Structure 1
Amino acid sequence: MTIKLQTFTVLALSAGVLPFIATPPPAAAVTVRPAAPPPAESAERPASEETEKVEKVEEVKSKPVLLRPGHRGEAVRSLQRKLHRGRYYFGRINGVYDEQTKFAVWAFQKHKRMMPRKEVGPKMLAALDKPVRHKVLVPGGAPDRVEIDLRNQLLTVYRDRRPALISHVSTGAEVRYCENGRCGNAITPTGDFRVLRRAPGWTTGPLGSMYNSLYFTGAIAMHGSTKVPLRPASHGCVRVPLETSKRLYQMVKIGEPVHVRGKIM
């Protein structure tokens, strides 16, 4: 066997053919690590849920405090007290954000040149604690008088030249109307007038019901109403919130000057 192998090798070398010997390379050193376990979802979920809860709590704390119709409590009672001190609110201090409270909120917002809204936030609450610069429609007018601002839909009663009652109102819609066989123009006239007649309690006429009416020209009166929207909506009278109209009727007597100025926008 040795002689044959040597003979084969010599013949292969002489033919120029190198023998192929399939010798496996030395094995490389491989470090085998155990497979990583799958993410522990059940362990991570509680942590993320806890983070979400904290974020939600912080979000609630950062939101501005809002009072709106229907709310009750001490915050509403405090709001009513401040509105009463400012001569905007004349209803009960009952801690209920009712319709009369809403009308007083509108009166303050319009008096402060703010956009009338039902909601009360930090901006308005802060403004309630600051003095309001009042714009007089009739400089040099009588110490006791009534001013009606058509543009801002606001009524102010002065006592000794100081605002003693400030009310949101709804004046003539300035449209042509025909109701119950009666037609006319829904206009609240501008000018200088005086209270000519008083009608206590509810009275009903062809154009509807009026409460505690104070007539200052013809059939045009300042009176309490259950409908006092933000827009001019009357047939020409000056609609006043019911609770405010009670105080208005107590204050204003026959002969008191009434000044109507401005133009509805």
Structure 2
Amino acid sequence: MQIDLVSRGMFMRALSKSAPASLLILNLLFLTPADSNAIGKAQKRKENSSNTRSRALNRADLKSAEARLAEMGYGTGRNGLVAFQKYEGRKITGQLNRDELAAIMSSSAPQAKDPGYKHVEVDLDRQVLLLTDDAGAVTKILPVSTGSEKHYREKGMSGLAYTPRGRFRIYSKIGGWRKSPLGLLYYPNYFSDGLAIHGNPSVPQTPQSHGCIRVPMSAAVDVYKQLPVGTIVLIYDKQSFVSAKEWIGREQ
């Protein structure tokens, strides 16, 4: 459609007396090819932006996530991501997406609740275990499953599946598998009345054990090596934390 200058002027005077909606018609009528092209490009940019936010992760994204998880002490793979999600109070999926990637890249490394000396901490609320170095700095965070706090009756035994809170020490260890009345323990590190930190093929997202502290099989040997007899174990929830620094003071 073509409109000459005279007709265009008459048309504009007519529009000035009509409803505001007519302005939309005017804009559409007088769009030049360049205008149409600009609008098309703007729409394209909007679509591209939306696609970027929802696009699948690429290899570089995965490497960045694993590098940051390892740097913070979570390790790599699904267990590392689950430990991160547990510690940060996120939905536990074990799957990496753009939201999880953003959270990983913006998070800080976990800190020990009782720094200053070598020990291991078990946070029952978060369901994670934290290993520390000689200075008490966190070196590794693992997902765990602790006592379900339910009564059980199985294999001729009964009791409350409870993981005790407080200060303990590793008093005995067994390298390899150990058969207990309630099942097999992999590289157990005993800390209280037959309860141990040990590897298990099943480490649920929630507390499900008889009272022991289950760690992933892939981490069991490393945990065993880092917990010599005498290592302090702190087990706590929001209401029950007790420092063991006074123990260290007595030994020095």
Output the TM-score relative to the length of structure 1.
0.65
Residue pair 1:64, 1:121 contacting (<8 A) in 2 also:
no
Match of 1:248 in 2: 223
Match of 1:132 in 2: 108
Task: Determine helix, strand or coil for the equivalent of 1:235.
Answer: coil
Q: Which amino acid aligns with 1:148?
A: V
After TM superposition, the structure 1 = structure 2 runs for residues 28-107 of structure 1, keeping only pairs within 5 Å, are 61-65=52-56, 76=62, 78-89=64-75, 101-107=77-83
After TM superposition, the structure 1 = structure 2 runs for residues 185-204 of structure 1, keeping only pairs within 5 Å, are 185-204=160-179
> Displacement of 1:192 after TM fit?
0.4
> Displacement of 1:147 after TM fit?
0.7
> Displacement of 1:244 after TM fit?
1.7
> Displacement of 1:60 after TM fit?
5.1
Q: Which amino acid aligns with 2:157?
A: R
Q: Deviations over 1:164-206 (max 9, x none)?
A: 1111100000011111111111000001000011111122222
Give the direction of change, closer, same or farther, for the CA distance of 1:64–1:206 in structure 2 (3 Å limit). farther
Residue pair 2:190, 2:197 contacting (<8 A) in 1 also:
yes
> Displacement of 1:224 after TM fit?
0.7
Q: Which amino acid aligns with 2:90?
A: M
Q: Do residues 110 (structure 1) and 96 (structure 2) align?
A: no
Q: Looking at secondary structure, tell me which structure has more helix per residue.
A: 2
Q: Do residues 215 (structure 1) and 201 (structure 2) align?
A: no
- Quick one: distance in 2 between partners of 1:135 and 1:182? 39
Counterpart among 136, 144, 149 of residue 169 in structure 1: 144
Task: Determine helix, strand or coil for the equivalent of 1:129.
Answer: helix
* Corresponding pairs, count: 193
Give the direction of change, closer, same or farther, for the CA distance of 1:261–1:62 in structure 2 (3 Å limit). closer
Q: Can you give the 5+ residue segments of structure 1 that lack an aligned partner in the other structure?
A: 1-53, 68-72, 91-100
Q: Deviations over 1:59-91 (max 9, x none)?
A: 654415359xxxxx665455434332322127x
> Displacement of 1:262 after TM fit?
0.8
- Quick one: distance in 2 between partners of 1:107 and 1:122? 18
Residue pair 1:88, 1:167 contacting (<8 A) in 2 also:
yes
Give the direction of change, closer, same or farther, for the CA distance of 1:64–1:119 in structure 2 (3 Å limit). farther
Residue pair 1:66, 1:119 contacting (<8 A) in 2 also:
no
Q: Do residues 151 (structure 1) and 151 (structure 2) align?
A: no
Match of 2:30 in 1: none
Residue pair 2:72, 2:109 contacting (<8 A) in 1 also:
no
Q: Supply the RMSD in Å over aligned alpha carbons.
A: 2.6
Residue pair 2:69, 2:81 contacting (<8 A) in 1 also:
yes
- Quick one: distance in 1 between partners of 2:152 and 2:66? 37
Match of 1:43 in 2: none
Residue pair 1:171, 1:239 contacting (<8 A) in 2 also:
yes
- Quick one: distance in 1 between partners of 2:224 and 2:237? 24
Q: Which amino acid aligns with 1:237?
A: C
Q: Which amino acid aligns with 1:103?
A: N
Residue pair 2:177, 2:186 contacting (<8 A) in 1 also:
yes
- Quick one: distance in 2 between partners of 1:153 and 1:257? 18
- Quick one: distance in 2 between partners of 1:173 and 1:263? 17
- Quick one: distance in 2 between partners of 1:106 and 1:173? 19
The alignment-based identity, stated in percent, is: 30
Greater C-alpha Rg: 1
